[in-house]
Amino acid sequence: MNSQLSCNLESARKLVDELKYHTNISRLPVSQAATELLNYVLENQGRDFLLVKPPDNPFKPKSSCMFL
């Protein structure tokens, strides 16, 4: 019984420490985070190769084969 009590006490202390850690994390309102994310995406969309075709691939093998 004593070991079970000490185990519960230890797990409760770990839980309290974890909760204290999470209370100290700075948080942003969702509206502010969404606005910042949207601004970041709009500012960097020119470098996103999913949206803009990249320049010639330097790793692409040069072929000398030509079709007639």
Residue 63 lies inside a defined structural domain of this protein: no
CA quadruple 34, 38, 39, 41: dihedral, nearest 10: 140
Q: Which residue has the higher pLDDT, 68 or 64?
A: 64
Residue 42 lies inside a defined structural domain of this protein: yes
With beta carbons less than 8 A apart as the criterion, state whether 15 and 22 touch: no
Residue 65 lies inside a defined structural domain of this protein: no
Residue 53 lies inside a defined structural domain of this protein: no
Residue 15 lies inside a defined structural domain of this protein: yes
Residue 59 lies inside a defined structural domain of this protein: no
Residue 66 confidence (pLDDT): 66
Range of the domain at 24: 2-47
Helix (H, G, I), strand (E, B) or coil at 53: coil
pLDDT for 9-52, tens place per residue?
Answer: 899 999 999 999 999 999 999 999 999 999 999 999 988 888 88
With beta carbons less than 8 A apart as the criterion, state whether 45 and 51 touch: yes
The percent of the chain in helix, strand and coil, each rounded to the nearest 5, is 60, 0, 40
Residue 23 lies inside a defined structural domain of this protein: yes
Number of separate domains in the chain: 1
